[in-house]
Chains A and B, each alone.
Chain A
Amino acid sequence: MQSKFLDVFLESLNKFGNLYGPTYKNKVLSYDRLANISDLVLTDEHPMIPIKKLFHPMKFTMLHFNEMGFTPDYSTIEKRVILGVHPCEIHSLLILDSVFMREPMDPYYAQLRQNSAIIGFSCLPTENSLCFSTDTDIVEEGFDLFFVNLGEYFLVWVGSSLGHDMIYEREEFFDKNVTHDDIQEYVEWRQKKNKMFKKSFEFDSMPDIMELSYESEIWEEFAKICLSCGQCSMVCPTCNCYSVTDVFDVTNEQIGRRDRNWDSCMYVDYSLVAGGHNFRASRGNRLKLWYGHKLKTFGKDYGRPGCVGCGRCVDSCPVDINVLTISEALTTKEVPEK
């Protein structure tokens, strides 16, 4: 598809649902509802908060209750078309699927997922991109359409029946013939992209290194500087932990709601049980759990570790604890100087 058709085509997708995508909100790039297609920001930068927020909202009401019992609240669910989704974000959704769509399915996540189309967009590595290391720089599934930006035109991959319908709506924009030159250009784009990564880490050997380093004093070094602020969990696309809170309506002691909100295993009370026993009172143990999930194993049946190499923990952590510094320290046995 020629680049000049992009906006018209993307706008036409509102037929399939409300348009969402990265947009500036108080100068912060954020996934949000797009009032106009001109609000969409297609850039190599990631939104600060990952796409999980559209499927596993930061805070929402799961159930309402009254004297009669509990009733589910599905008001967050609507038909959506989410534009401008980078490969690592698509990978993160596939990982979250394995948690939330596993039986018994989470009906909130599942319905948000089933009612949302994913229109992926290629990106080029930024300062802290690690997706080449984590093998999440390319997507093969998890999108309805995927646009690779080759300058003059986009190479558009069709990933689902819905994606096919979308193309079919505006057939005139698309050229079905892929020439040798197009292929050559795509190959060159990939080669150029692969050379642009500034940072890398040994993702593939991390599960073994993590296993062998459980007793390493390195964890204590990091524990000394960790603030337990939980920012890493908020910005990590595959952190899915949440807490649940009941709230009464202001005027009533019978009626209220049960809310779900993001939680982090970095918080001290994360593993605290009634009676006061805390299974993970030490910061070092909480760091081990977090990095275990990202770099070693993520659920018995979930396959790969959780890190998708987006680099947000590298961008965000105020004391430089991230997948890079952790993997480097465990490999070299030296905590990197700030």
Chain B
Amino acid sequence: MTLIETVENPFKPKAARIVRHYDLIKDHRFFQIRHIDMAKAMSFSYNPGQFIMLSIPGVGECPFSISSTPSRPGILELGVRRVGKLTESLFQKRDNEVVYIRGPYGNGFKLDKMVDKDLIIVAGGLGVIPLRSILYYALDNRDQFKRVFFLYGARTPNEFLFKTEFFQLKNRKDIECLYTVDKSDAEWPHATGVVTKLFKNLPEIDPSETTAVVVGPPVMYKFVIDEFLKLKIPKNLIQLSLERRMKCGIGKCGHCAIEHLYTCMDGPVFTYWDTLHFRELI
């Protein structure tokens, strides 16, 4: 057949090398990957909050949040929980082995609404993986934001991700980091209790000069959003990122539909105002 072989096939993933990996906690691994094609690696641009589709041939393809910041180009970072067939196979991979990726997909956080304002980042559990992108983006472009607050809650000290990195951030004067675990142990140096308890430690907020982002398990959203609302942050300036099953990433396969929206194209970042119109969003 005479075919348009030159047509860019958006489903064709490109080879990327695992350049480094280490375990964050049990069954949670950090991967740094880089497109084998160096030009592609350097030109791969994305927004905090976007995701990629990662393939292992013969096993399948799944969406993963990008955990690195576009302000540090070349290498993509992922935080992966061993939870299914594909991640099990990914955990068998060693450094220098090849995986296949395509993307970036989704809208990402609405940076234009966030600059020149205070930023409150609230992470619960694995939600910290996508939020690490906007966190470092804000720190790398520190002059674009006013005060930055980073609130992170995990279940136990052993489930606290990026411990070394985030504990070091505490030393910085230009960001306020508040950490908590639901159940602490003797060595845990920070707060104990659910993440919403950290809000009382925040200084006075001017709601007209503040934006907020939250990512966490579905059950957490309501409680955190209630706290934002108590601070009187406008509903359209509260952003959250949603998880859905996806097979394509580009608005074709239908799986991530929320009423008439596709999480992969219209999301995964939505404002709380958006979610008010959709009854099955969270």
Contacts and interface: CB of A to CB of B under 8 A. Distances in A.
Interface of A: 62-63, 65-66, 69-72, 74-75, 77-78, 99-100, 102, 104-107, 110-111, 214, 240-248, 253-254, 256, 258, 263, 265, 270-275, 277, 279-280, 285, 288-289, 292-293, 296-300, 302
Contact of A63 (B12, B244, B259, B262): B12
A100 to B, nearest CB: 6
Contact of A74 (B1, B58, B100, B250): B1
Contact of B253 (A72, A241, A254): A241
Interface in B16-74: 55, 57-62
Contact of A274 (B58, B59, B87): B87
A75 B1 contact: yes
Given A70-B100, A244-B61, A246-B59, A289 B257 contact: yes
Contacts of B14: 69
A288 B262 CA distance: 16
B282 to A, nearest CB: 9
B9 A253 contact: no
A275 B83 contact: yes
B1 A242 contact: no
A277 B218 contact: yes
A300 B11 contact: no
A299 B255 contact: no
Contacts of A99: 251-252
Nearest to A277: B218
A294 B154 CA distance: 41
B260 A300 contact: yes
Given A75-B1, A104-B250, A248-B58, A63 B280 contact: no
Contacts of A273: 243-245
Given A72-B12, A300-B266, A274 B62 contact: yes
Contact of A272 (B13, B59, B245, B262): B245
B57 A243 contact: no
B4 A246 contact: no
Identify the interface centre among A63, A241, A279, A289: most chain B CB within 10 Å of its CB.
A279
B245 A270 contact: yes
24 contacts: A63-B12, A65-B57, A65-B58, A69-B57, A72-B9, A77-B3, A78-B1, A99-B252, A102-B251, A106-B10, A111-B3, A111-B7, A242-B254, A244-B61, A244-B247, A256-B58, A258-B57, A263-B247, A263-B255, A275-B83, A280-B280, A289-B280, A292-B260, A300-B260
Given A69-B15, A105-B10, 19 more contacts: A63-B9, A69-B57, A72-B12, A77-B1, A99-B252, A100-B252, A107-B7, A241-B253, A244-B60, A244-B61, A244-B248, A245-B60, A248-B58, A263-B253, A274-B84, A280-B280, A293-B257, A297-B259, A300-B260
